[in-house]
Structure 1
Amino acid sequence: MLTRRAFAKLAVASCVASAAAPLRAFDSLNIGVGTYSYHGLSVDDMIVQLKALRVREIEMSRVEFMLLSHPEDALFRTAKEKLDRAGIRCVSYYAATFKNTQDITDAIRFAKLLGATNITGDATEDILKQLDHRLTEEGLTFGLHNHFFPYKFAYESPEDVLNALSGMSKTMGATADTGHFASCGYDTVDAIRKLEPRLRMVHLKDIQAKGGEVNVLLGNGIAKIPEVMQELHRQNFAGLVAVEYEKEGDVNQDMVQEVTFARKLAQ
């Protein structure tokens, strides 16, 4: 018969063992895909690849869906139906650059048609303020996207992003692109650490060298991907870590390696 004292010792031992045990699956980082990775495929063929990889969450970032392409509502409705049938959830809509109030109205409608709760993009200060107001009303969130261009861009450093979001509500956050931070010459781990209070989403991408946009497989470039993932673990980051691979041609096998690599680091 188990005495009260023996039971107490067993309970303490159990607690110690639990604390020492490795993180369980539900403590893992949430790995998904930024769909620009499959810009060379049709939506149907992209979904085939996503299903093969068992991807369950995405950011819709294909060019034909961005504001600059002036898409019609039917495109989003059809995509949502296909994603639903495949068991894939679109958690974020990449709208790209917002230029005016109409862009905000359109992006809100498009995000809702996809079932997304977050919108990623960039905008001038006055438009960001409008986004804060409108998205708060709509119950959506926003991720300001850093980017590398050969010319000077408004949001290249983590400080650029944080300064732009200063004074705004919790609706407004950051979508951190590790590849673009590395291209611009910033330490990716430092950037992710600084953005922690505003971090909404991560575009997980590796780059060959500073000052360029040549994508390489995760872990083979200068973006310090393993260290970035360690920092996200430290933060207990619960948002989507979307694998992005910007390359022309057939990327299917590359994406298998990308997602496999990310998932190992996510545990």
Structure 2
Amino acid sequence: MTSRRNFIKIAAASGLACAAPQLLASNRLNIGIGTYSYHGLSVEDMIVQLNALRIREIEMSRGEFMLMNHPSPELFSATREKLDRAGIRCVSYYSATMNDGQDIERAIHFAKLLGCANITGDAPAPVLKQIDERLTKAGLTFGLHNHFFPKIRFAYESPDEVWNAISGLSKTMGATADTGQFAICGYDPVDAIRKLAPRLRLVHLKDVKAKDDEENVLLGTGIARIPAVMDELHRQNFAGLVAIEYEQENDVEDMVKQVAFARKLA
């Protein structure tokens, strides 16, 4: 693993040490990180990396926080304290699948413990209406997440499937668009971002090697058309979080390159 000192040297060499002031410009996209990118690190070591990269906003998407892993409220409270001390804001909680009302209540509770305004995840179609009602009452928004699963036809693979699932519900219900997952499924991420624009809550900025291939690659080197995606987000004046996701094993030097590339396009 790269040491903290070496990591900061790499970040400085990539121009990240002086990147933070640029983020103050109102016409720039808000670049953050989906924390699954650091799933092999402790929360404490992850925060070291986030601070070195001058990341101020994240989505909490680490596996131990997802509903199917039955996390405790104490995990969320303790992590919130650490993030607050580091000056990092968690704007969204990735719950994964919500299957029933109990899952919805747990997701709301966990999101509020983290201080989030949005929950990202998925649910069977009948449960989406329950999510709409409860999150509206709780003052939160929801981003329906598209996905690819090998040998399984997921309900929300295409932008049309995501849109059809949320368009008949209230504006509480939106989309978290994963550029890599759309590309893996054979859909144009730029077209997806455009179609979902009226309800776009969050973007997972991810690049992949090929259709039907889950291997993540550095932004701009795969098939997800990342520069064109960023152009489309600029055209929309998108103000939400553009969260970089990188699902390879935790190569922190690769994350430096990812953030530098995204910020050049922001």
What TM-score, normalized by structure 2, do the two folds share?
0.90
Structure 2 partner of 1:174: 175
Could you tell me which amino acid in structure 1 is paired with residue 222 of structure 2?
A: G
Structure 2 partner of 1:80: 80
Secondary structure class of the residue paired with 1:207:
strand
Secondary structure class of the residue paired with 1:26:
coil
Structure 1 partner of 2:200: 199
How far has the Cα of 1:118 moved from its partner?
Answer: 0.1
Any idea what the Cα deviations from partners look like across 1:109-159, whole Å, max 9, x if unmatched?
Answer: 000000000000000111100000000001000000000111110000000
2: CA distance between counterparts of 1:264 and 1:156? 29
Could you tell me which amino acid in structure 2 is paired with residue 196 of structure 1?
A: A
Identity within the alignment, %: 73
Answer yes or no: is 1:104 the counterpart of 2:104: yes
How far has the Cα of 1:24 moved from its partner?
Answer: 7.7
Structure 2 partner of 1:236: 237
Alignment of 1:93-242 (within 5 A): 93-150=93-150, 151-242=152-243
What TM-score, normalized by structure 1, do the two folds share?
0.90
Q: 1:24 to 1:135 in 2, by over 3 A?
A: closer
Could you tell me which amino acid in structure 1 is paired with residue 248 of structure 2?
A: K
Secondary structure class of the residue paired with 1:214:
strand
2: CA distance between counterparts of 1:51 and 1:31? 14
2: CA distance between counterparts of 1:166 and 1:117? 20
Secondary structure class of the residue paired with 1:245:
coil
Any idea what the Cα deviations from partners look like across 1:171-226, whole Å, max 9, x if unmatched?
Answer: 00000000000000001111100010111100000000000100000000000000
- Runs (5+) with no aligned partner, structure 2: 1-22
Report runs of 4+ in structure 1 exceeding 3 Å deviation.
Answer: none
Higher-Rg member (1/2) = 1
Structure 2 partner of 1:48: 48
Secondary structure class of the residue paired with 2:54:
coil
Secondary structure class of the residue paired with 2:46:
helix
Could you tell me which amino acid in structure 2 is paired with residue 78 of structure 1?
A: A
- How many positions carry a matched residue from both structures? 243
Could you tell me which amino acid in structure 1 is paired with residue 264 of structure 2?
A: K
Any idea what the Cα deviations from partners look like across 1:64-116, whole Å, max 9, x if unmatched?
Answer: 00000100000000000000000000000000000111000000000000000
